[in-house]
Amino acid sequence: MAALARFFISLALTLLGLTVITFVIGRVIPIDPVIAIVGDRAPAHVYERTRLELGLDKPIPVQYALYLQKLVQGDLGQSVMTGRRVTEDLAVFFPATLELATVATLIGVILGVPLGVIAAARRGTMIDHIVRVVGLVGYSVPVFWLGLVGLLIFYARLDWVAGPGRADILYDGMVPTVTGVLIVDALLAGDTGAAWDAVMHLVLPAGILGYFSMAYIARMTRSFMLNELAQEYVTTARVKGLSEARVIWRHALGNTVVPLITVIVLTYASLLEGAVLTETVFAWPGIGLYIKNALFAADMSAVLGATIVIGAVFMTLNRLSDLLYHLADPRARS
């Protein structure tokens, strides 16, 4: 119970610090929010009236207090780019990123953990070298280049997957929004055609992001496993006659669960931040593409509002990984 209380207190203080950072960024960045709203040709009296409505005439501490008050009420401001509340925009764009990041993380875990274990168990062999090279390529190849090549080969040439976007124009607006996750909403509506179309659009961007997350997870799993396989309890288990598979997959891998939780959660959190390049290449309507478009439109309400949400999600998952660490490892509880 005490750990849970510390979790929420730490999370609250961290989020408060995030609000300070975003507020300062909004004030020091060389973009006039008033001009972004009224335009650079607006009359002086319109400019001044808008400035007063935004509270920019007040002292900085008062402006921050008002900013914090709106955040507590769930008001992230209004987007100049879309003309809607930022919260309404994020309710549309964030589920797309959630869908993409979740599938990519599942791919990374399902492939990365076994590859890392096998590479560690076969250290120095051809399998180990192949896994390390695959991971190295995952870190080295720019994601936008891999996305473009993937579209050229699998979409334009082979026609194995659907093209950019989240759905074909045929299904645009045809699926009632329930969760915001298109595949789930299509299945709930009983529209298997829309669900399959959503899957075909998701395969390539999720596969590319899954490859990058797999490379990182496999590398970290291999490192953790090498450390565990060098421990005395592994030697003892082998001397007792336990099978190599039991030693590796149950005892050694079991002791890497705690650090792996942190790696997987932080990988997921980083993907939820919005894979800007991937979403841009595939025209995926996620939060990364939303922030990119908002920056080009000098829409600071949208940028800062999305930043707050992303920071809150990242910090929550980060603190959650710490909480899971304490639950998974009895030594940490004491």
Cα–Cα distances in angstroms (integers) from residue 50 to residues 34, 40, 60, 202, 298, in the given order = 6, 13, 17, 42, 17
pLDDT of residue 17: 83
pLDDT, mean of each 10-residue run, the chain (334 residues): 70 80 75 72 78 77 83 82 87 90 93 93 91 86 87 91 86 83 89 91 93 92 91 85 86 86 87 78 88 82 85 81 70 56
What is the DSSP track for 42-66?
S-HHHHHHHHHHTTTTS-HHHHHHH
| Beta bridge partner(s), residue 78 | 85
Instruction: For residue 292, give both structure tokens.
Output: 């990119």
Short-list 327, 231, 213, 329, CA closest to 278? 213
C-alpha span between 195 and 108 (Å, rounded): 23
C-alpha span between 163 and 281 (Å, rounded): 10
Buried b (16+ CB within 10 A) or exposed e, 231-244: eeebeebeeeeeee
C-alpha span between 87 and 77 (Å, rounded): 8
Q: Hey, what's the torsion of the CAs at 117, 121, 125, 129, to 10 degrees?
A: 20
Question: What length is written for the chain?
Answer: 334
C-alpha span between 260 and 264 (Å, rounded): 6
Q: Where in the chain is the domain with CATH 1.10.3720.10?
A: 89-296
pLDDT of residue 1: 64
* DSSP state, residue 155: I
pLDDT of residue 224: 92
pLDDT of residue 274: 59
Judge contact between 213 and 107, C-beta under 8 A.
yes
Q: Say if residue 33 is exposed, middle or buried (CB neighbours under 10 Å; 0-12, 13-18, 19+).
A: buried
C-alpha span between 287 and 306 (Å, rounded): 7
pTM value is 0.84
C-alpha span between 118 and 181 (Å, rounded): 34
What is the assigned CATH class of domain 89-296?
mainly alpha
Neighbours of 217 (CB within 10 A): 26
Task: Find the helix packing angle between 86-121 and 126-140, rounded to 10°.
Answer: 160
Euclidean distance between the first and the last CA atom of the chain, given in angstroms as a whole number: 13
156: phi then psi, degrees, rounded to nearest 5: -75, -40
Judge contact between 79 and 37, C-beta under 8 A.
no
